[in-house]
A and B are shown apart, each in its own frame.
Chain A
């Protein structure tokens, strides 16, 4: 059951989240113990390739390439969705899915241009686990991708060294969060799901945040379930 698999993926992503109590404990220690641990060494930051796996690199370049990988995945997904729209899609759903496709393509193309010669290659995707004829499969996957994107940008933010890049990540993550809310509302209209207790901690009001390799499955592992060209982030947290 493809839909079951997608729901399973969503559940795994959501249950494998980072422990909020631990975070708050760190937060309360005034941050000094969580100081930024990455020193940018520009020459060594660049991505590399071994055994067919693309490593995104380290430092700000690594984080931006990690974001670029996720945006490539999202763009490819929504291009496929729009190219073979499931039957019965409402005009609102078509509009939302077309808009999101354009946004993700803009993000992808921007990262490619901004990273220039430091950009990772074009990744080949594997969407065999997605049933593009099924509304539940498409929107379920979209929800997982958007929530994952939000948590990835949120989690990587504090490791970014350059303020301009952090602002840039901020410009993109809020758009991903707008997407997540819209997709969640399509799945569960007029409910609290757009910012549901499964993603936003009801006690702290904080959204999920995860570093690339945190949790099981990690964001990297989740992304790889949709990628033929595998990625790694061995030099990122």
Chain B
């Protein structure tokens, strides 16, 4: 199996077991937000469904930080489990994976303390299933599967933080939290670039090229409209490069649809 194309290979598998796994994943993705929310632990699902305490439809700063914390819990546990799996991470890449793991652990701690300092309550760590119900059964055995999921989580993380920046701005209590969120966001982007290159791809995202990952992770990355301008009309740079030059945000609903299969009910 061409392990760098694990997801594509998965999609092309013809045997019944894998077909049903694929169907299960597709179904999970298609069921959309409602089902995903049901699968998400209490804290986060209340963020998404119980808006009674909010004055507007825009989530408040604590809600956003708890959303970020949930994603950081996922990344943190993912790398911890990877590092704890004997023989998974080759020694040549150990410095890289250990550095990323260190950052994700630090993000969890920072977000928890920041939420507490804002008189909020940090959500509890959910139970994760990094095989997504068996779809990625070899995630902690096959390094290429591990890297593929790492790539998926990092690029999704970048898009998730970006999607909440303006919402933080809308909450006047956010203040310097915006800077902290941006400072995490760019670290996730550094991680994403490195992991993508370890997989043999460019560090940046061209059009909606998913490199074998679920298409939802790169939906909208082919956008060239920025600030009301079609960048294609104001520069001689090729369209592919324009799409690489601007990373696009994802909404909470989009991110939770991607992350949902990895979060156990």
Interface residues of A (CB under 8 A from B): 23, 26-36, 95-96, 99, 102-107, 109-110, 112-114, 150, 153-155, 157-158, 160-161, 163-182, 185, 190-192, 194-196, 200-209
Contact = CB atoms under 8 A, between A and B. Distances in A.
Interface stretch (B1-9, B10-18, B79-87, B241-249): B241-249
20 contacts: A23-B176, A28-B117, A31-B173, A31-B175, A102-B241, A103-B204, A106-B245, A109-B236, A110-B229, A158-B182, A172-B247, A174-B185, A175-B189, A177-B189, A177-B193, A185-B197, A190-B95, A202-B106, A205-B107, A206-B187
Contacts of A103: 204, 237, 241, 244-245
Contacts of A203: 106
**A-B residue pairs, 10 tightest by C-beta:** A31-B175, A163-B166, A205-B106, A109-B235, A102-B241, A177-B189, A174-B189, A178-B193, A192-B99, A113-B234
B179 A177 contact: no
A209 B183 contact: yes
B106 A168 contact: no
**B176, B191, B192 pick with most chain A CB within 10 angstroms:** B176
B186 A174 contact: yes
B193 A194 contact: yes
B96 A35 contact: no
Contacts of A102: 237-238, 241, 244-245
B234 A175 contact: no
A103 B119 CA distance: 41
B1 to A, nearest CB: 25
A150 to B, nearest CB: 5
A173 B182 contact: yes
Contact size range, B: 35 or more
Given A178-B190, A182-B203, A206-B180, A113 B245 contact: no
Contact of A190 (B61, B93, B202): B93
Contacts of A31: 61, 118, 173-177
Given A178-B189, A207-B182, 15 more contacts: A23-B179, A95-B202, A102-B245, A105-B236, A109-B237, A158-B182, A161-B169, A163-B170, A175-B189, A182-B197, A191-B96, A192-B95, A192-B99, A195-B194, A205-B104
B219 interface: no
Given A103-B204, A195-B99, A195-B191, A35 B183 contact: no
Contact of B237 (A23, A106, A161): A106
Contacts of A190: 92-93, 95-96
A150 B186 contact: yes
B103 interface: yes
Nearest to B227: A114
B78 to A, nearest CB: 15
B185 A195 contact: no
Contacts of B175: 26, 30-36, 158
Contacts of B96: 190-192, 194
B227 A110 contact: yes
Given A164-B166, A175-B244, A194-B96, A207 B204 contact: no
B186 A173 contact: yes
Contact of A209 (B182, B192, B226, B237): B182
**B113, B189, B191 pick with most chain A CB within 10 angstroms:** B189
Nearest to A163: B166
Contact of B166 (A166, A172, A179, A201): A166
B77 to A, nearest CB: 15
Nearest to A176: B186
A112 B177 CA distance: 30
Nearest to A153: B182
A158 B178 contact: yes
Contact of A163 (B169, B177, B187): B169
B117 A110 contact: no
Nearest to A197: B99
